[in-house]
Amino acid sequence: MKTTLTPSLSLMQQEMSQMRRLAAASPLSAQTLASGAPNGESLSDISFHQVMRNALESVDNIQQAASARQNAVSSGQSDDLVGAMLASQQASLSFSALLQVRNKVASGVNDLMNMSI
């Protein structure tokens, strides 16, 4: 039985270490935000539109990768069922997180629109 659990495990460990570093950092310092800027852009060059587009593309890529792994297992090209299930759960969680962010943004916009000046 061929397993490719090691790449999935190492990817998950990398993501966990990145989450721990971000959690240990001070809340959204300018350096943290600037380090997340794509292509070395400065903090003032980052727009909300770019951030959301990058998040959507990232979630889409995760979902496509999970779908490809599931299809490979279903067609018999791979026997890495654990990796396919982990990828599926990761895609589900990333989509749920994206929906929560969208809902919070929509709620914030509605609150701003209902404010009296």
Distance, in Å, from the CA atom of 117 to the CA atom of 114, rounded to the nearest integer, reads 9
CA angle 94, 44, 33 (to 5 degrees): 40
Phi, psi at 9, each rounded to 5°: -65, -45
Contact 38, 54 (CB under 8 A): yes
What confidence tier does 56 reach under pLDDT thresholds 50, 70, 90?
very high
Which whole number is the average pLDDT over 42-65? 87
Task: Spell out the domain ranges in the chain.
Answer: 5-114
On whether the CB atoms of residues 68 and 90 are closer than 8 A, the answer is no
Span 6-49, pLDDT tens digits: 666 777 777 777 777 766 665 544 444 445 555 655 666 788 88
Global pTM? Answer: 0.59
